[in-house]
A and B are shown apart, each in its own frame.
Chain A
């Protein structure tokens, strides 16, 4: 296979490509037009672009092929869609971009999007967000469900998109740069508690997969693997990727929140100063 083919989609999804291009275009246009005081720094822009690029790469390059036919690569794909990509996008603090487009949207469009706002606020209830975050991992890794998701093309796309969207919602709730003093963001203590709570079930699930004696996910036997590898090795690596990196991401999230909390204590901020993100501090 020639190397440019590795960058082409294995299973081309026009909707996915359009969604990513639209997000990128909206970001870049807003960035160019934002006043210099609101313009994010290089680090924040890089975090956003790397986060977006990683999520695109695992969905629309050859990586997706290996994710479909190797359990451990699939776990790597979800690690990026549910954790790493959304974390990078959240710490990049795209609020100025949101505000830019919000201020330029016609009233008709805003009222049309109002129901989405209700859904968003419902999903961002702390208990619901935490339950969804862990629940989705368990749901898609339930062996019978996982079997169906890997077998059905439609379900496979639903799985990947649901992981990405939930990852964005959850990590935005955790890393929202706005101060809880402004009553629009979740308190720092609650955020740390949620991050600790969601890590535990992920560790348990990862450990279960690692120490399972038989094959937990036989769909990879049924569909075949991308290259000859012992099924136990594939499962072991996949279990480790479910266990260790997500737990580390929770700890990383806690550090970011603690750092923000300590910085806030050092220099009290006005009630509403959304420009400051963790990376900008």
Chain B
């Protein structure tokens, strides 16, 4: 059943050769040094059909030419969402002035029962003009979330009808062509995010 030592050594050599080749190819790829996680090619390009705060349907094409930062959240969120939107605004304001207008934050609500377009308008307006509040029914939201390998869930409502919502805390960054580029996580400083956004906006 077991192979001879000679054959075994031969197989081991071939396996090592393949491993070294794979590592070498991986190391020689020319990549920009991003602070965020580079997810180029890992996920599909930006594509959605949602409703904006004027209750009009919008697609990714409506924001073409912009560096787009997509974030899933909800307006009743006590911590992650307001903190993230403030943090992104800070990072964008630190960018060179001429590039700031090339960045749009897409804030997608995962709480369609409570987040109406009007409520989203009020909420996003508080943080800045460059935030697009987007809503949809649960089904298309689930499809969009699945496309970007994220999800959301609802806790049981308390006596006052309030319920918790679990959602992603990641920010998906798409370049001016709508190609997925980076995943920003909360441990990055706003300066690091500024660096990445500036590099992306400048190259676009």
A interface with B by C-beta (< 8 Å):
11, 65, 68-69, 118, 121-122, 124-125, 147-148, 150-153, 183-185, 218, 221-229
Contact = CB atoms under 8 A, between A and B. Distances in A.
Interface string B153-174: 1110000000011111110000
B185 A218 contact: yes
Contacts of B72: 224
Interface in B2-44: 2-3, 8, 11, 37, 39, 42-43
B121 to A, nearest CB: 24
B104 interface: no
B149 A150 contact: yes
Nearest to B44: A153
22 contacts: A11-B146, A65-B151, A68-B151, A118-B3, A122-B8, A124-B1, A124-B2, A151-B39, A151-B42, A151-B43, A151-B149, A152-B43, A152-B149, A184-B1, A221-B168, A222-B168, A222-B169, A223-B168, A225-B166, A227-B153, A228-B164, A229-B166
Nearest to B156: A228
A19 B146 CA distance: 24
B1 A153 contact: no
Nearest to B80: A221
Contacts of B150: 222-224
A151 B166 contact: no
B152 interface: yes
B42 A225 contact: no
B166 A228 contact: yes
Among A11, A122, A223, A229, the most chain B Cβ lie within 10 Å of the Cβ of A223
Across the A-B interface, give the 3 residue pairs with the lowest CB-CB distance, nearest first: A227-B153, A224-B168, A222-B170
Contact of B3 (A122, A151, A152, A218): A122
Contacts of B169: 221-222, 224
B183 A121 contact: no
A226 B3 contact: no
Nearest to B147: A153
Interface residues of B, number: 28
Contacts of B8: 122, 125
A27 to B, nearest CB: 24
Contact of A226 (B1, B11, B151): B151
A203 B37 CA distance: 31
Among A124, A185, A226, A227, the most chain B Cβ lie within 10 Å of the Cβ of A227
A152 B42 contact: yes
B1 A227 contact: no
Nearest to B72: A224
Nearest to A154: B42
Interface string B168-186: 1110000000000001010
A222 B183 contact: yes
A69 B151 contact: yes
B1 A224 contact: no
B43 A121 contact: no
A207 to B, nearest CB: 26
Given A151-B43, A227-B153, 19 more contacts: A69-B151, A118-B11, A121-B1, A121-B2, A151-B183, A152-B43, A153-B149, A183-B1, A218-B185, A222-B183, A223-B149, A223-B150, A223-B168, A223-B170, A224-B153, A225-B151, A226-B151, A228-B154, A228-B164
A136 to B, nearest CB: 15
B173 to A, nearest CB: 13
A228 B1 CA distance: 51
Contacts of B11: 118, 122
Nearest to B171: A222
Given A151-B42, A223-B168, A228-B166, A185 B183 contact: no
